[in-house]
Structure 1
Amino acid sequence: MKIIRYSDRLDELLVPGTTAQKLVSGFGFAEGPAWCPHTDRLYFTDFMNYRIYTWSEAHGVQVFREPSGRAVGLALDAEGRLLSCETEPRRISRTEKDGTVTPLITHYQGMRINNTNDVIVKKDGSVYFTDPYSTALGAPRDLPFNGVYRYEPWSGTLSVIADDFNRPNGLAFSPDESLLYVDDTNEQNVRVYEVASDGSLHSGRLFAQLDTSAGPGAADGMKVDERGNVYVTGPGGIWILAPSGETLGRMELPEVAANLCFGTPPASPLGSTLFITASSSLYSVKLRVRGAI
């Protein structure tokens, strides 16, 4: 791994001499990592091969579900149940404690949602997700826009909170959940919004424009650490941005990075581990900071 420093403040986040460890390889297209603190294991997907995997220090990599509905993004709710963006059936599902898979979100105002991509869960239990349409699915689209949505599991209410993206993808909250970051794959940028008390968004603005000359890749997965720094996969690797939008640094991996998440496996008591799904492989990088809780 090559580290490109734009600011000395990057040294506050990365362990000196750190490098990326390849944990496992051989996937068609690794995506959607999500750490489960209840079981000390990582969930991630192989989009091309219709599988969801788990990885842990104790058991290594194991198949969790096959077929997966061609799942991409994953998240866990407060009860530790897995939420999965399934592109083939065009839905978000929830895996119950007994292993039953429940279709959670499938339609908006009677129309089939486009192609759920990434999903996160707010502390109050509400679910936020991106829904860009993909011509690769070969299915006609019902909704004319590529939206960002908010879903209330307790009421079943599904709301569009942004509908002016080209191709919305990754999303992440600031540590206090007062801000929501959303990136756009086609525009290669990150926007930030203020989150109102009812969960809606306002005062959106451009947060960062990624440099496409840095290398292969596109704005995709995104997470925030406990200090509010934003980590986004994009051209040339993983961009690390301060809360002000200043670029602190970039991590270049041997493969194109698609998504990432923070985890705290038993062997990382002092900081945390950044898990990265990159093309055919799963990587880990030790950090000095933890992910936003």
Structure 2
Amino acid sequence: MLKSRLKQMWKNRIQYRFKSPLQSNCPEFARLFPQGAKLQRVARGFEFTEGPVWFGERQVLLFSDIPANIIYQLSATGEVTVFRKPSHHANGLTRDRQGQLIACEHGTRRVTRTEMDGKITPLAVSFNGKKLNSPNDVVVKSDGAIYFTDPPYGIEPQQQEQPMQGVYLISGDRTETEILLVADDFEKPNGLAFSPDEKTLYVDDSQRRHIRVFDVLENGKLGNSRIFADMNVKEPGLPDGMKCDRQGNLYCTGAAGVWIFNPQGTHLGTILTPEQPSNCAWGDDDGQTLYITAQTSLYKIRVNSPGIPVFPSLPA
């Protein structure tokens, strides 16, 4: 029994290296990575990973294992430990302007904030008197506004109370919040990310297999919806979690790996992954490591352009 446990611990901690799987569509793609960049598997043995977010002051990456009902943390030494169990089947994770953890919970159908003392505060549990579907992914704007997607992936069809699969905005101060519906015409809204100047918000639709982009208006609402990129290909895999780097390039998980688009929507190339990826996040001291959650494993690869900081983890 002890030998078996030690063997499993070693498997979870060892780093698995792969030949650089960079599938380029144009010369611009190669400049995004240092020469000889390799994809590494840094942890394995999970049920379904999601929601990575970097905590720079603690040098750890948090990520969800949705079916296992656990939020894990990966240390700088590669050790994986339990951060929270039960996690209420948490999915997307991020941090607010005070650095506190914001989580989308499938099990409770809510968005929560973890206070400095460890208390968990619900931020969104219903809209128009009806339960949310199953909050999926979340981003926080520099002014503190929180945007999240609400597809029905975490519930049975008969449990759905909302008449739509929406994108929501949690606005207001920390003592009194207001929940606004800012987009209601998605089939399955999923990942979302701001451009570096926060003037645009990207939201993908997993059902339609494309990414849309919106103008962010002064009141926080969204306007001028248009298709940014079509990810509908023959290979299995849907657009899911995504992040922007500081040059405005968009990294979106999809069929076969992580697709990278420039700000004009051109598909520059793909980071091929051994497993279907679900989400990604910037980490390490310089923000130049892309961590990728993918089915049963966690991967990482070095990049040249730092990611947009998740306050206050990455250097500005």
TM-score by structure 1 length?
0.95
TM-aligned CA distance change 1:259 to 1:135, over 3 Å: closer
Unpaired runs of 5+ residues, structure 1, are none
| Root-mean-square deviation over aligned CA pairs | 1.4
The equivalent residue for 2:101 is 82
- Whole-angstrom distance in 1 between the partners of 2:123 and 2:148: 12
TM-aligned CA distance change 1:245 to 1:234, over 3 Å: same
Q: How far is 1:163 from its partner?
A: 0.2
The equivalent residue for 2:5 is none
Q: How far is 1:153 from its partner?
A: 4.4
Counterpart of 1:23 in 2: which secondary structure? Answer: strand
Q: How far is 1:62 from its partner?
A: 1.3
- Whole-angstrom distance in 2 between the partners of 1:137 and 1:50: 18
Q: 1:2 aligns with which of 14, 21, 24?
A: 21
Report the number of matched residues. Answer: 288
> Given that residues 31 and 277 in structure 1 are in contact (C-alpha distance below 8 angstroms), is that contact kept between their aligned partners in structure 2?
yes
Q: What do the CA deviations read for 1:167-200 (whole angstroms, capped 9, x no partner)?
A: 0000000000000000011111000011111111
Q: 1:234 aligns with which of 205, 230, 254?
A: 254
The residue correspondences of 1:68-147 to structure 2 (distance < 5 A) are 68-134=87-153, 136-137=155-156, 140-147=159-166
Percent identical pairs in the alignment equals 41
> Given that residues 88 and 137 in structure 1 are in contact (C-alpha distance below 8 angstroms), is that contact kept between their aligned partners in structure 2?
no
- Whole-angstrom distance in 2 between the partners of 1:135 and 1:94: 19
Q: How far is 1:108 from its partner?
A: 0.9
> Given that residues 38 and 80 in structure 1 are in contact (C-alpha distance below 8 angstroms), is that contact kept between their aligned partners in structure 2?
no
Unpaired runs of 5+ residues, structure 2, are 1-19, 310-316
- Whole-angstrom distance in 1 between the partners of 2:68 and 2:172: 30
The equivalent residue for 2:177 is 156
Q: How far is 1:275 from its partner?
A: 0.3
Q: 1:32 aligns with which of 34, 46, 51?
A: 51
TM-aligned CA distance change 1:199 to 1:85, over 3 Å: same
The equivalent residue for 2:301 is 285
Q: How far is 1:211 from its partner?
A: 3.8
Are 2:215 and 1:194 equivalent residues in the alignment?
yes
Are 2:186 and 1:170 equivalent residues in the alignment?
no
Structure having the higher Rg: 2
The equivalent residue for 2:227 is 206
Q: 2:236 aligns with which of 187, 191, 216?
A: 216
> Given that residues 74 and 85 in structure 1 are in contact (C-alpha distance below 8 angstroms), is that contact kept between their aligned partners in structure 2?
yes
> Given that residues 133 and 154 in structure 2 are in contact (C-alpha distance below 8 angstroms), is that contact kept between their aligned partners in structure 1?
no
